[in-house]
Amino acid sequence: MRTLTLSMWLVVICVSFTLGGCSLFQSHPSETAIELNAFNSLSKEDQDRIKASPKDSFVKIVKYKGQDAYAVTFNHTSTDSSGNITVYVGLDKTSIMGQGFEDEQ
């Protein structure tokens, strides 16, 4: 009886860690909104360069034209003549400040 109770507790603990751990690896909702706002600001031609999804990007805070901004850089969008597409979004997470290419401001 004691081993059955112990086994049940181990199962409960394992399930709790599994469910809790899964939520650690999900994108933060505000970052997703930033990525989608940045994607929607692109021209159709630039949107077509994003092969997977707008979530295939990374977000970081940078200085853009003297102001803090989110830089959303879309992976795998570089060409022979330009780097990955980067969209600069205001700290309000909705206003588009500009667009360029990775390592270009």
Q: What global pTM score does this model have?
A: 0.67
Distance CA 42, CA 93 (A): 16
* pLDDT category of residue 5 using cuts at 50, 70 and 90: confident
Segment 7-53, tens digit of pLDDT: 766 666 766 666 666 555 555 555 568 999 999 999 999 999 998 88
What average pLDDT does this structure show over 92-104?
A: 89
Q: What is the CA radius of gyration of the chain?
A: 20
Residue 27 counted as domain residue: no
Contact 71, 104 (CB under 8 A): no
What distances in angstroms separate CA 34 from CA 12, 52, 85, 91, 95, one per listed residue?
A: 37, 17, 15, 10, 10
Residue 1 counted as domain residue: no
% the chain with pLDDT above 90: 54
Instruction: Print the domain residue range for 77.
Output: 33-104
Q: How many domains does the chain have?
A: 1
Residue 8 counted as domain residue: no
- What is the pLDDT of the chain when averaged over all its residues? 83
